[in-house]
Amino acid sequence: MSGSEQEPSGARDTTEGRVYTVTGSGWGEVVDAVAQADDERIIVNMGPQHPSTHGVLRLILEIDGETVKQARCGIGYLHTGIEKNMEFRNWVQGTTFVTRMDYLMPLFNETAYCLAVERLLGITEQIPERADVIRVLMMELNRVSSHLVALAAGGMEIGSTTLMVYGFRDREVVLDILELVTGLRMNHGYVRPGGVVQDLPAGAVDKIREGVKLLRSRMHEYDKLATGNPAFKARLVDIGHLDLAGCLALGATGPILRATGLPHDLRKSDPYCGYENYEFDVATADTADAYGRFLIRLEEMRQSLRIVEQCLEKLAPGPVMVADKKIAWPAQLALGPDGLGNSLDHVRKIMGESMEALIHHFKLVTEGFRVPPGQAYAAVESARGELGAHVVSDGGTRPYRVHFRDPSFTNLQSMAAMCEGGLLADVIVAVASIDPVMGGVDR
């Protein structure tokens, strides 16, 4: 009897498909059965323009039914060439580029860059105390606004539109403060090498106190709506799991790392801008899942408000820019008919001092100051983890090279580890718990 005519001795259906137990011949039928098998494993593209990918992120998912077998990220759709462009602008102009990378936390981008430039200039210890306090104040307000977007977007993606409304409602409180201080809701260009561009305007302290009081009074609403909600927990608990070993192997930082129980926070381990003088707790969890990251962001907002209140108490009168006139970019901003710009009184003062002062001001603004040759790395604890700036100078008036360690880019590597083996619906929750911002990933 030929192989095609002999029946296989046994066949059974399993979750992996039809399995044949063959004794003797019967290979022809086995081959025919395999050729006719209905393989349900398919490739799905989620994005790059998708409401649940937090920007123009492309997720390439290989799925078997509803189970994700393989997950990969496709990035680069938002590439702006910021790092390369900075090589053609002076050191101060660099702040207007870096602020646009991770557009949800612009003040962290600016501070990390300026700290690195200040190290190259050797003026870290000369930064006025008031400037450092204002930097901390603005960064912590920015941390609150960034976390609110993470909670709002993550809630919206799992059907909690109320959480979305709460998050964006409270974010407006913070953005109003940032607009009052810097003139813009985002992409501020407020932190400059040597300090900040201008002091807090009149009424800013009272506005901040009111904002903190209002935000603190609303924090319980998130607990009431989500923290103990069985439906909310059912979607987040044990989803997007990544343990401590996985975080260390992939370089994940921020809430993802602290959700494993490790209290790693650069504000404590490697303080900058005077963070060693503030009292706050590092929020941690031991769940290593999406729910733990949610709890951490919620607690970090409370701690940020606590730091902001301490900043307001530390605001002693003083300058907000280094005294060295070869570095300090003189500016006194005011609202005029052409929008925000230098006040006319300030321009008259510069022009009326002396011809040498006017020439120096012109050269400082058009050419910029020179930075000694060398390289420096400075890192801050941003809303998403360690944000580092590696700055290289060849002694000129513009950077030779600037490169950022963006936490969104690094943390996004954990997507595959969090999603593979889980359900397709849980990919949404896992990516939301990473909280990537593609402006920082592609930059």
Residue 396 predicted with pLDDT over 60: yes
Average pLDDT of the segment spanning 50-70 = 83
Residue 309 predicted with pLDDT over 80: yes
Residue 399 predicted with pLDDT over 60: yes
Label residue 275 by pLDDT band (50, 70, 90): very high
Label residue 35 by pLDDT band (50, 70, 90): low
Residue 2 predicted with pLDDT over 50: no
Residue 181 predicted with pLDDT over 70: yes
380-416 burial code (b ≥16 CB/10 A, e <16): bbbbbbbbbbbbbbeeebbbeebebbbbbbbbbebbb
pLDDT above 90 covers a percentage of the chain that reads 55
Which of 51-55, 197-201, 231-235 has the lowest average pLDDT?
51-55
SS (H, E, C) the chain: CCCCCCCCCEEEEECCEEEEECCCCCHHHHHHHHHCCCCCEEEEEECCEECCCCEECEEEEEEECCEEEEEEEECCCCCCCHHHHHHHCCCCCHHHHHCCCCCCCHHHHHHHHHHHHHHHHCCHHHCCHHHHHHHHHHHHHHHHHHHHHHHHHHHHHCCCHHHHHHHHHHHHHHHHHHHHHHCCCCCCCCEECCEECCCCCCCHHHHHHHHHHHHHHHHHHHHHHHHCCHHHHHHHCCCCCCCHHHHHHHCCCCHHHHCCCCCCCHHHHCCCCCHHHCCCCCCCCCCCCHHHHHHHHHHHHHHHHHHHHHHHHHCCCCCCECCCCCCCCCCCEEEECCEEEECHHHHHHHHHHCHHHHHHHHHHHHCCCCCCCEEEEEEEEECCEEEEEEEEECCCCCCCEEEEECHHHHHHHHHHHHHCCCEHHHHHHHHHHHCCCHHHHHC
pLDDT of residue 211: 94
Average pLDDT of the segment spanning 250-271 = 93
Residue 25 predicted with pLDDT over 90: no
User: Cα(1)–Cα(433) distance, rounded to whole angstroms?
Assistant: 61
Question: For the chain, which residues make up each domain, given as ranges?
Answer: 1-38, 82-327+369-442
pLDDT of residue 73: 86
CATH topology for 82-327+369-442? Cytochrome-c3 Hydrogenase; chain B (1.10.645)
Residue 50 predicted with pLDDT over 90: no
Average pLDDT of the segment spanning 354-363 = 76
- Residue 54 vs residue 436, higher pLDDT: 436
pTM: 0.85
Label residue 122 by pLDDT band (50, 70, 90): very high
User: Cα(223)–Cα(202) distance, rounded to whole angstroms?
Assistant: 35
Quickly count: other Cβ atoms within 10 Å of residue 9's Cβ.
Answer: 11
Contact assessment for residue 431 and residue 422, using Cβ atoms and an 8 Å cutoff: no
Per residue in 205-251, pLDDT (tens digit) is 999 999 999 999 999 999 899 888 899 899 999 999 999 999 999 99
Six-digit token string for 45: 């593209």
Residue 61 predicted with pLDDT over 50: yes
Give the Å distances, CA to CA, from 246 to 91, 241, 257, 402. 37, 10, 9, 29
**Cβ-Cβ contacts under 8 Å for 7 (sequence gap 6 or more):** 26, 29
Contact assessment for residue 359 and residue 225, using Cβ atoms and an 8 Å cutoff: no
Label residue 393 by pLDDT band (50, 70, 90): very high
Label residue 337 by pLDDT band (50, 70, 90): low
Label residue 49 by pLDDT band (50, 70, 90): confident
The residue with tokens 């200039």 is 121
Quickly count: other Cβ atoms within 10 Å of residue 93's Cβ.
Answer: 14
Label residue 176 by pLDDT band (50, 70, 90): very high
Average pLDDT of the segment spanning 172-193 = 92
Residue 5 predicted with pLDDT over 50: no
Label residue 134 by pLDDT band (50, 70, 90): very high
Six-digit token string for 305: 């408000």
Residue 170 predicted with pLDDT over 60: yes
Per residue in 74-112, pLDDT (tens digit) is 888 888 899 999 999 999 999 999 999 999 999 999 999
Beta bridge partners of 391: 376, 402
Contact assessment for residue 437 and residue 99, using Cβ atoms and an 8 Å cutoff: no
> Torsion-angle region of residue 129: left (phi > 0), alpha (psi -120 to 50) or beta?
alpha
User: Cα(383)–Cα(265) distance, rounded to whole angstroms?
Assistant: 11
pLDDT of residue 40: 63
Label residue 341 by pLDDT band (50, 70, 90): low
Mean of the per-residue pLDDT values of the chain:
86
User: Cα(346)–Cα(336) distance, rounded to whole angstroms?
Assistant: 13
User: Cα(193)–Cα(140) distance, rounded to whole angstroms?
Assistant: 19
